[in-house]
C-alpha cells in the first residue's frame, strides 16, 4: 500500500515547495549569513506542508466533486477508492502535526527561544498550514472561489522566501522583494498550468479558477504575463550580483522562455501536464544556482 500514498503525496510538486525555501537560503548565503541546520529544517517543514496540501487537495476535490467530473490530470486516490476518505483525513492530521513540530523546532533554532520574531513566524506558519488545508477542503474552500493564485503568490513567494531569509539573518531588505516576487509568480504559473489542464472538469465542479472564469486563451495570456514578469524580476535583481549568478540565471531564463513558447502551442489541455514539472524544476534551478554560487564562493 506504499505506492498509492506516494501517488497521493504527488512527489513531483516538491521541487516547487523547496525552491522558495532554497532561494531564501541562497539570499542569506549571498550576505554571508547562511546556516545549514536552519536550511535543512526549513526544507523539511516545506516538504511536510506541501504533502499536507496535496493530501488535502486529493480529499477536498473528492469532497466537492471535482474528481468525479472527468478530470484529465493524475489519478486521485480518494476518488478512485484506493485510499479511504477517513485514512486520508488521518494522514492530513499526521502531516499537519509534522509540519507544526518541525516548524517550531526551526523557529527555536533560529531565534534561540521565545521572541517577537518567533511568535510572528509561528503565526505565519500556522496560517500556511490552514491555507494548505483550506485550498480545496472543508467549507467554502478558497480554491473554488479562484483565490488560489493570491495564496500561492504570498505563501510560495513573499512569505517563504523572505521568511527563510529572516530566519537566517533576522533582518529584511527592500530589494529582496524582487526575487521573492519572481519566485511567487513562477509558483502561480505552475498553479495556472494545473488549472489550464483541468479547466473543463473544474468548470463542471464549480471551481472558479482563472482559466474557468476567463477562458483558455485568456489563461495562456495570463500565464505568459506571469512567466515574463517573474523572469524580469529575477534578472533585474541578478544584474548587480556576481557574473556567475547573472549568466546562470540568464541560461535558466532561456529554458523558461523555451518552455513558454511550447506552452503557447498546446491545443489539448492534457498536454499542459508535462510543463508543470518543467516549470517547477526551472524555479528550483534559479534557487539552486543562487545557493551554490554563494556557498561555493
Please choose, from the candidates 119, 118, 141, the residue with its C-alpha nearest in 3D space to the C-alpha of residue 60: 141
| Kind and range of the H or E run holding 38 | helix 36-64
The label of the residue with cell 533576522 reads 170
| Model pLDDT, residue 204 | 83
Q: Would the pLDDT of 47 be above 80?
A: yes
CATH number of the domain enclosing 31: 1.10.600
Contact between 233 and 178 under an 8 Å Cβ cutoff? The reply is: yes
**DSSP characters for 103-150?**
HHHHHHHHHSS--HHHHHHHHHHHHHHHHHHHTTSSSS-GGGGT-HHH
Closest CA to 189 of 280, 254, 127: 280
Q: What is the pLDDT of residues 60-104, one digit of tens each?
A: 777 765 555 555 556 677 877 788 889 889 999 999 999 999 999
Q: Would you put residue 73 in left (φ > 0), alpha (ψ -120 to 50) or beta? A: beta
| pLDDT at residue 240 in the model | 80
Average pLDDT of the chain is 89
Q: Are 60 and 137 in contact (CB under 8 A)?
A: yes
**In angstroms, rounded to a whole number, what is the distance separating the alpha carbons of residues 224 and 174?**
26
Predicted confidence (pLDDT) per residue in 81-93, tens digit? 788 889 889 999 9
Q: Let me know how long the chain is.
A: 297
Range of the domain at 15: 2-296
Per-residue pLDDT tens digits for 211-246: 999 998 999 999 999 999 999 999 999 988 888 888
CA 145 – CA 154 distance, rounded (Å) = 17
What is the number of structural domains in the chain?
1
pLDDT higher than threshold 90 for residue 8:
no
Amino acid at each position: 500500500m506504499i505506492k498509492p500514498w506516494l501517488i497521493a503525496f504527488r512527489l513531483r510538486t516538491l521541487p516547487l515547495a523547496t525552491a522558495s525555501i532554497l532561494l531564501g537560503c541562497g539570499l542569506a548565503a549571498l550576505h554571508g549569513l547562511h546556516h545549514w541546520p536552519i536550511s535543512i529544517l526549513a526544507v523539511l517543514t516545506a516538504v511536510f506542508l506541501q504533502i499536507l496540501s496535496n493530501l488535502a487537495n486529493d480529499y477536498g476535490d473528492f469532497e466537492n466533486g471535482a474528481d468525479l467530473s472527468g478530470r484529465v490530470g493524475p489519478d486521485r486516490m480518494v476518488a478512485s477508492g484506493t485510499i479511504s476518505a477517513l485514512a486520508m483525513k488521518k494522514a492530513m492530521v499526521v502531516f499537519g502535526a509534522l509540519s507544526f513540530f518541525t516548524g517550531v523546532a526551526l523557529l527555536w533554532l533560529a531565534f534561540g527561544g521565545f521572541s517577537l520574531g518567533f511568535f510572528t513566524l509561528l503565526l505565519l506558519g500556522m496560517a500556511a498550514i490552514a491555507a494548505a488545508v483550506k485550498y480545496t477542503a472543508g467549507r467554502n474552500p478558497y480554491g473554488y472561489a479562484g483565490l488560489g493564485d493570491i495564496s500561492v503568490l504570498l505563501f510560495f513567494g513573499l512569505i517563504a522566501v523572505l521568511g527563510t531569509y529572516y530566519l537566517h539573518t533576522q533582518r529584511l531588505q527592500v530589494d529582496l522583494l524582487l526575487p521573492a516576487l519572481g519566485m511567487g509568480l513562477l509558483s502561480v504559473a505552475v498553479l495556472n498550468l494545473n488549472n489550464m489542464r483541468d479547466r473543463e472538469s473544474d468548470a463542471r465542479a464549480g471551481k472558479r479558477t482563472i482559466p474557468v472564469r476567463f477562458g483558455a486563451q485568456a489563461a495562456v495570456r495570463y500565464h505568459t504575463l506571469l512567466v515574463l514578469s517573474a523572469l524580469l524580476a529575477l534578472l533585474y535583481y541578478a544584474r548587480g550580483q556576481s557574473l556567475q549568478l547573472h549568466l546562470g540565471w540568464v541560461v535558466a531564463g532561456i529554458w523558461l522562455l523555451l518552455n513558454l513558447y511550447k506552452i503557447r502551442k498546446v491545443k489539448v489541455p492534457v498536454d499542459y501536464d508535462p510543463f508543470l514539472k518543467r516549470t517547477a524544476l526551472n524555479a528550483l534551478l534559479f534557487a539552486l544556482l543562487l545557493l551554490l554560487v554563494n556557498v561555493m564562493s
